[in-house]
Structure 1
């Protein structure tokens, strides 16, 4: 079930979500600096609010994941469900890792 191709997809999904968080927060921090807002605070806020978009970008940004789950439920192709869940989980891990890295750089806790 865990083929080389699926493992490669999971790694790509992780790093795409990670990159969306890191890149979005850093570029947003530069923009905040240019307009006179505190960049670290803006980076902190962006890291938290970009998570869902990082996951969407990592899984393709379309309804393929939902149709894949539908196929698994209604047509009996359960491998599609597992692959999609693994892809979403890998993207979640990447987004969370990126958020934690930004949190570490900024020095603030996201729960505050």
Structure 2
């Protein structure tokens, strides 16, 4: 089990990484769409939605490590470590979702 300070710092870091991937990707993608004569607001909405899964992968450091960790800790009976991994996944999901919601709010669009 991770020490409390390390657990919370990892949780917050996962949240912020996922948030940053969605916000940065959508905003820079909108700039790219502007330069290629495509509608930037539509491109930003589309990119924000598409980047959610990649934000999770980036925040967690690769999905195979997380899956392997589940296997080892479930078979080893360390359910508290499994709960920690679930919280890490949820924090990354909430960061990615907040990024998408912020992009939708920013451009006042619905997907």
For this structure pair, what is the TM-score category when the shorter chain's length is used for normalisation? over 0.9
* RMSD, aligned CA: 1.2
- Correspondence 1:49-88 to 2 at 5 A: 49-88=50-89
Moved over 4 A (4+): none
**TM-score (structure 1 length as normaliser):** 0.93
Does 1:107 pair with 2:108?
A: yes
- 1:25 Cα offset (Å): 0.1
Q: Shift of the alpha carbon at 1:96? A: 0.5
1:6 partner SS: helix
Name whichever of 67-76 and 52-61 sits farther off.
Answer: 67-76
| Alignment length (residue pairs) | 110
Residue 39, structure 1, aligned to residue 40, structure 2: yes
Question: CA-to-partner distance for each residue in 1:28-62, whole Å, 9 max, x for gaps?
Answer: 00110010001010000001111000000000024
Q: Distance in 2 between matches of 1:29 and 1:105?
A: 12
